[in-house]
Structure 1
Amino acid sequence: MLLVQFKDKEGDRHVGVVEGANLRIIDGFPTTYALAQAAVARGLKLAALAALEAGPTVVSYEEVASQGRLLPPLDHADDAHCYVTGTGLTHLGSADTRDAMHKKIGGDVATLSDSMKMFRMGVEGGKPAEGEKGVQPEWFYKGDGSVVRASGEALPMPEFALDGGEEPEIAGLYVIGQDGQPLRLGYAIGNEFSDHVTERENYLYLAHSKLRACAVGPALLVGELPAHIAGTSRIRDRDGLVRWEKAFVSGEQNMSHTIANLEYHHFKYGLFNRPGDVHIHFFGTATLSFADAVTVQPGESFEIESPVFGPALRNKLAVVPTAFSKVKPL
């Protein structure tokens, strides 16, 4: 099941089930968050409640998308109660890249970079046996709910940034129950969006490079994630023509970590188990236009799609002024 959040022409919010080219509105639940809370209260699975409450009204997905009325598939009424985070060095990558990595892995550990050491740790210990704890991955913070953009919205690159590049990823979407239990609603396609030039200057700048906007959706895939996900990432110029395109893969079959291991090492921190909070957690990628020496220009568009997740995620790159007021003593 795929769920989409959107606004109607009057600005009222809805959740709809994707049915071909249409969205069937779920009656009585204006947000995915409200639907999830009700599912918990009734002791039902999210998909079961969505199917039970789906009403007779259908709207055209394309009409909603073309009019800029899409919303991220999950959000919180208070942005401060939505954490946006992620993990890196989790994917094996393409066959050529994987072969190259494996050759380096076989070398003397003293000659490996910190990144390669962490990648090797994931390959060796990222998929633990049932009941065991695996190695922890690289982890980063992107921001709160204010950094999340829906499909169709511009992805803002601050004017001080050195680059604005896509990262096609799968994100896990979670709500924390009133008892502190993390509850996974499902998954969505995402553009994690980073400043790769800043990161390449020095790996210790990774934290800076990740403090950017991101895009998620349009749809929430309810249920388990297939072991193999295939998709395509594109850059379109200002005329809408494709100037870069590459296939990407994800899912545990193509990863050095299990989803469960990544989730454990995020939610093991008490800070991330606060009742009522929302979490959007990116699981990493291995495909970047930046790796092919592509520099995306303002006005050009990112397009990320995979049949598993329904409609494509589309966002234009926009440069925004740096809003900063000099600190003064009180």
Structure 2
Amino acid sequence: MTFRLVQIAKASERIVAASADGADWRRVAGVASIRELAQRAIDTATGLEAFARASLSDAVDVAAALDEGRLLPPIDHPDPAHVYLTGTGLTHLGSAHGRDQMHRTAVQGVTDSMRMFQSGLEGGKPPLGEIGSQPEWFYKGNGNCLVGTGADLSMPAFARDGGEEPEIAGIYLIDGAGQPRRLGYALANEFSDHVTERENYLYLAHSKLRAAALGPELIVGDLPAEVVGVSRIRRGGSVLWEKPFLSGEANMSHTLANLEHHHFKYALFRQPGDVHVHFFGTATLSFADGIQTAEGDVFEIEAAPFTLPLRNRLVRAADTPVRVEPL
């Protein structure tokens, strides 16, 4: 069975709960966050699951916490600046078509997106112990950009689009020796401005600098090779758009290990105590099907082995004038 962890806001405290089946949830005694739990496991040279199992106590009603909006993202840090949100694109077997169409209007012949995708097909799954081709990489923000299920997903006032990107994210903590330690995986909505990106692929960075949502569950251990889920958009209570999405290495042009290597090879990303949320990409976008989202739309993402959904309402942030003043 798949072991999983959640963080819950409870009155004036926070708790961590664990389950092996997604139904029987038990409190993990003595910790207030999954990051704290992971640090204790590291300090005692114990696996995360084993350490959590040894600390299980009373039952927790996670379904009620979900209904009441008390489930938090499965990772955070007291100082959000120590949380990196990053990702890789063009990593899934169906991901090149939509991106290629976005960029083809301004480019004749083979696009850079298609070249990058082809590079992954040819070298993204190297033999064990070898290094494969580099994927596309982007920065999304820090812990201030991260929201959980039930929270609003806010696009900037200047955004031209707020589009969902259903995918899987890896969650990491850097130990005291600078070694990245993978805690597990979470369901994610990486969220981008595809209209801005379509205008010029060099605007990719601008399209990514905004909020992202994580599902409440941290899956501990290996990610299944085949992850099958559904992404939908509700408008006014009705389903506007719905489509299956696939993830896991069976549906990817890169191994997870190769994507991890090309992120953590930079010493900047191996600073002790830092938390990393790394989005692995998707091949399924409503934007590619001609959908234009609107304020008030609700994104819903579900996928096994995750048993809890990720739901967020799209809102637009207030326009805040920015002015740089000399000191």
TM surpasses 0.5: yes
1:321 shift after superposition: 1.0
1:237 shift after superposition: 1.1
- Match of 2:15, SS state, is strand
**Which residue in the other structure is 2:80 paired with?**
79
Q: Which of the residues 142, 145, 148 maps onto 2:143?
A: 145
Answer yes or no: is the 8 Å Cα contact 1:21–1:60 preserved in 2.
no
Answer yes or no: is the 8 Å Cα contact 2:299–2:313 preserved in 1.
yes
Report the AA paired with residue 14 of structure 2. Answer: R
Q: Which of the residues 36, 39, 43 maps onto 2:38?
A: 36
- Match of 1:49, SS state, is helix
1:238 shift after superposition: 2.6
What is the number of equivalent residue pairs in this alignment?
A: 316
2-structure distance, mates of 1:4, 1:30: 11
Q: Is the alpha carbon distance of 1:138 and 1:97 closer, same or farther for their aligned partners in structure 2, counting shifts above 3 Å?
A: closer
Report the AA paired with residue 180 of structure 2. Answer: P
1-structure distance, mates of 2:245, 2:166: 8
* TM-score (ref. length: structure 1): 0.93
1:41 shift after superposition: 1.0
Cα deviation digits, residues 202-222 of structure 1 (max 9, x gap) = 000000000010000210000
Report the AA paired with residue 88 of structure 2. Answer: T
Q: Could you tell me which runs of 5 or more consecutive residues in structure 1 were left unpaired when the two chains were aligned.
A: 102-109
Structure 2 matches for 1:42-57, cutoff 5 A? 42-55=44-57, 57=58
| 1:159 paired to 2:157 | yes
Cα deviation digits, residues 248-291 of structure 1 (max 9, x gap) = 10000100000000000000000000000000000000000111
**Which residue in the other structure is 1:136 paired with?**
134
2-structure distance, mates of 1:28, 1:222: 19
Answer yes or no: is the 8 Å Cα contact 1:90–1:256 preserved in 2.
yes
- Match of 2:41, SS state, is helix
Structure 2 matches for 1:223-262, cutoff 5 A? 223-239=221-237, 241-262=238-259
Structure 2 matches for 1:90-109, cutoff 5 A? 90-93=91-94
Answer yes or no: is the 8 Å Cα contact 1:157–1:213 preserved in 2.
yes
Q: % of aligned pairs identical? A: 57
1:115 shift after superposition: 0.4
Answer yes or no: is the 8 Å Cα contact 1:229–1:308 preserved in 2.
yes
- Match of 1:88, SS state, is coil
- Match of 1:138, SS state, is coil
**Which residue in the other structure is 2:319 paired with?**
322
Structure 2 matches for 1:10-25, cutoff 5 A? 10-18=11-19, 20-21=22-23, 23-25=25-27
Q: Which of the residues 308, 313, 316 maps onto 2:310?
A: 313
1:59 shift after superposition: 2.5
2-structure distance, mates of 1:228, 1:260: 16
2-structure distance, mates of 1:232, 1:204: 30
Report the AA paired with residue 306 of structure 2. Answer: F
CA-based RMSD? 1.6
- Match of 2:154, SS state, is strand
| 1:2 paired to 2:42 | no
**Which residue in the other structure is 1:184 paired with?**
182
